[in-house]
Amino acid sequence: MIRSVAAHDADAVYGLMCQLEDCELPREPFDAIFEAQLAAPGQHAFVYVSDDAEPRVLGFINMRIEGQLHHAADIAEIMELVVDETARSGGIGGALFARACEAARDAGCEQIELTSNARRHDAHRFYENHGMTRTHVKFVMPF
């Protein structure tokens, strides 16, 4: 089942984000950002919840929608998409991606985009298999 993320999902989403980044993220700033994003009008986040007797969050997608000057339109950007490592390759990521695309279309977005770390080759194949194309190069400078 896919539903909108809720405040009570914070622990599960935190665990998934730690899996995604392969490290333990600092919890206090994570919680502050999670809470702020729940209240942000352009933020859309969904979780995939198992239908077990004791349901658990198996996947998470986080997307923001904002007007971008260089498009002169609203654009949806996936910020995070992660599936629990024990549940990968079972269609959860595809279902979450489809739900985000639906929300972006419903909001009138011109397109959906994302950035994926260069080392995530499996993720790149996933996005290309779901109709996305590589069009940009991202540059970063840590502080």
| Structure tokens that stand for 128 in this block | 């290309």
CA dist 125 to 39, 51, 133, Å?
A: 33, 28, 10
3-state helix, strand, coil in the chain (%, to 5): 35, 25, 40
What is the Cα–Cα distance from 130 to 123, expressed in whole angstroms? 11
| pLDDT tens, the chain, 143 aa long | 999 999 999 999 999 999 999 999 999 999 999 999 999 999 999 999 999 889 999 999 999 999 999 999 999 999 999 999 999 989 999 999 999 999 999 999 999 999 998 899 999 999 999 999 999 988 999 99
Yes or no: say if 62 and 79 are a contact pair by the CB < 8 Å rule: yes
Sheet arrangement for strand 43-49: 2-4, 43-49, 57-68, 73-83, 111-114
Token pair belonging to 26? 């600092």
